[in-house]
């Protein structure tokens, strides 16, 4: 919906007017400053439309976006579960067939497979928790993308694109992600002179090395978090570098 010219209220800056809007942001002019907000998510916490009818329409939009995201996640989960059930029933399936077409598993490199201990020793890092994460060293950023075999779906929303680049979700399981720590390390890797190494983990004994990557760009997009709530998540688009 078009909010340009509409009045909004912020608990700190008071009333303001929407002076610009695109697909992702709205710009609001307050008496003391002009601020940019993520749209429509800002209306969950930071803004409220002065017109109650407008606010009701925004609430409906937020609910629809959340329902669509949850439906897509459920569909993908069902596809993965169906694939796993086929395996249990004795139907022949390769590892490639475990994934949905949207994952583009044809780009997954399968040549070098390390254990978590070998990864730790090679890069001087400590892998904690379930294995996924952004690991920062003085000369590199080591990314681990994790898959839970028992569920057949990826933790976070990592996947290959149809052109062979890799979309890596930023760190932070719940709430809007922030450009700090590991996320900032990916963003600044080239500036800091650090190589980005990528692994896809299938188990503690199966870390598939994907090679060295460079950051092409990143986006801040709607996704469903660990608690099934709509939030903003960084998506880093990485391209394999052939050295």
Annotated domain spans of the chain: 7-64, 103-241
Q: What is the mean pLDDT of residues 146-172?
A: 76
Average pLDDT over the chain, rounded to whole? 84
In DSSP terms, 219 is beta-bridged to 235
Query: Cα(139)–Cα(137) distance, rounded to whole angstroms?
Result: 5
pLDDT at 140 over 90: yes
Contacts of residue 243, Cβ cutoff 8 Å, sequence gap at least 6: 212
Q: 179 vs 227, which has greater pLDDT?
A: 179
- What is the tens place of the pLDDT at every residue in 15-37? 999 999 987 889 999 999 999 99
The pLDDT of residue 130? 62
The pLDDT of residue 151? 47
Q: Using a CB cutoff of 8 Å and minimum separation of 24, what contacts does 71-77 make?
A: 73/224, 76/100, 76/102, 76/153, 77/151, 77/153
- What is the tens place of the pLDDT at every residue in 94-138? 566 666 677 788 889 988 999 989 999 999 998 876 667 899 999
- What is the tens place of the pLDDT at every residue in 193-204? 999 999 998 888
Of the candidates 96, 112, 234, 72, which has an alpha carbon nearest to the alpha carbon of residue 168? Answer: 234
The pLDDT of residue 150? 45
Q: How far is CA 103 from CA 31, 200, 236, in A?
A: 47, 13, 15
Domain 103-241 in this protein, CATH class: mainly beta
Q: What is the pTM of this model?
A: 0.62
Percent of the chain clearing pLDDT 70 (strictly above)? 82
pLDDT at 147 over 80: no
The pLDDT of residue 19? 94
φ, ψ at 118 (rounded to 5°): -65, -40
Residue 153 pLDDT grade (very low, low, confident, very high; cuts 50, 70, 90): very low
Tally of helices (H runs) and strands (E runs) in the chain: 4, 14
Q: Give the burial class of 84: count Cβ atoms within 10 A of its Cβ; 0-12 exposed, 13-18 middle, 19 or more buried.
A: middle
Q: Greatest CA separation found in the chain?
A: 68
The pLDDT of residue 82? 60
pLDDT at 224 over 60: yes
């Amino acid at each position: 919906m078009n909010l340009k010219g509409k009045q909004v209220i912020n608990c700190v800056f008071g009333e303001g007017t929407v002076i610009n809007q695109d697909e992702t942001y709205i710009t609001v002019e307050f008496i003391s400053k002009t601020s940019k907000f993520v749209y429509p998510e800002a209306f969950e916490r930071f803004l409220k439309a002065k017109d109650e009818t407008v606010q009701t329409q925004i609430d409906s939009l937020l609910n629809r976006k959340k329902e669509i995201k949850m439906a897509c996640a459920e569909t993908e989960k069902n596809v993965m579960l169906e694939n796993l059930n086929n395996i249990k029933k004795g139907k022949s399936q390769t590892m490639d067939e475990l994934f949905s077409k949207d994952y583009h598993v044809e780009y997954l490199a399968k040549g070098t497979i390390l254990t978590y201990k070998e990864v730790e020793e090679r890069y001087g890092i400590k892998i904690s928790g379930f294995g996924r994460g952004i690991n920062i060293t003085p000369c590199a950023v080591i990314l681990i993308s994790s898959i839970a075999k028992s569920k057949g779906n990826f933790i976070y929303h990592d996947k290959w694109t149809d052109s062979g680049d890799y979309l890596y979700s930023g760190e932070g399981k719940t709430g809007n992600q922030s450009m700090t720590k590991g996320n900032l390390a990916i963003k600044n890797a080239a500036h800091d002179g650090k190589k980005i190494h990528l692994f896809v983990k299938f188990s503690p004994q199966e870390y598939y090395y994907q090679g060295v990557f460079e950051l092409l760009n990143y986006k801040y997009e709607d996704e469903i978090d660990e608690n099934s709530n709509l939030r903003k998540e960084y998506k880093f688009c990485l391209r394999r570098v052939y050295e």
